[in-house]
Amino acid sequence: MISVVILGSGNVASHLTKVFLKTNTVDLVQVYSRKIENIEHLERKTLITDDITNLKNADVYIIAISDDAIEGFSENLDIDDALVVHTSGSVSIDALKGNYEKGVFYPLQTFSKGTKINFKNIPICVESNSSKQLNALKKLANSISKKVYVIDSNQREKLHLGAVFVNNFVNHLYEIGNEICEENNVPFEILQPLIKETAKKITKISPSAAQTGPAKRKDTETIKKHLDQLKKNQKEIYKIMTDSIIKKYN
C-alpha cells in the first residue's frame, strides 16, 4: 500500500483525489489546501488541512498547484525521507527545492472540474532522480492507469509543447469551424462526426497518411475561393496552414 498526501485543490488535484480514494492499493492520507473551504467536502473521506506545517507522514507528496507556484511552494515543505512530486507538464523536476527525494507525476489529459475522467486510459508520465523512487512512482501510476511512461524533463517539455498544438490550437480551429457555421445558420453538430473521425483516424494511420484537402492536392482554385469567403483572422490562419501543408507535400 502506497500512502499519498495531495497538496492542492485545483482540477488535477481534485481528479487525483477522487481516483485515489477509489483505489484499493493507495492510501490517501491527507489533502492540503491553502483554502480549507475548497476541500471541506472531503472531510468524511480523508484528513484535510490548510496548515502546511501539519502534514501527515506519507510515501509520496503530490504537489498539484499552478505551474508558477510550484518552486516557491516546494521550498517551504518540511519533508525528509519521502518523495515529493509535481504534476506539471511544463515544469522541470529541478524546480523542486528541498531535502526530499524528487519526482514528477504528470497525467497528460485535459482536465475540467465537473467532467468525469477515466484514468485507466490517461497516459501518466513519471520521472525521478532516484531509481528506487521511480519504481514507487511507476507502481503508483499503474494503480490508476494502464499507460505509464518514463519521461525525463526535457522530453516532457516537448510533449507539453506538442499538446499545445494538438489540444489548444486544434480547439481553436474547432472554434473557427463553429463560427463559420453560426454565421451561416448551419448547426455545428453537422461537423462533429467529422471531428471525431479525424481524431480517431490518426490512431490507425499516421497524420501524414491521413492528410487530405485542397492544400494537400495543391488545388489553387479551391484555395482562392475559400480565402475570398473568410474574415481577416480566419484568412491568416487558412493561409499559414495551407502554405505549411503545401510545403510538406509538394
State the Cα–Cα distance between residues 243 and 247, nearest whole angstrom. Answer: 6
- Residue 238's H or E segment, with its range, is helix 232-249
Given the complex with its own copies, which of 6 and 125 has the nearer CB atom?
125
For 93-145, where are the alpha helices, taking DSSP H only? 131-142
Q: Identify the residue among 19, 108, 126, 144 touching its own copies (CB under 8 A).
A: 108
- Residue 105's H or E segment, with its range, is strand 101-107
CB of 50 to its own copies, least distance (A): 26
CB of 34 to its own copies, least distance (A): 20
Given the complex with its own copies, which of 72 and 162 has the nearer CB atom?
162
Asked whether position 21 contacts its own copies by CB under 8 A, the answer is: no
Q: Identify the residue among 51, 53, 193, 250 touching its own copies (CB under 8 A).
A: 193
Name residues contacting its own copies, limited to 167-186 (CB under 8 A).
167-178, 180-181, 183-186
CB 66 within 8 A of CB 74: no
Q: Identify the residue among 135, 210, 220, 224 touching its own copies (CB under 8 A).
A: 210
Asked whether position 10 contacts its own copies by CB under 8 A, the answer is: no
The residues near 241 (Cβ < 8 Å, ≥ 6 apart) are 215
CB of 70 to its own copies, least distance (A): 13
Nearest to 156 by CA among 83, 77, 103, 84: 103
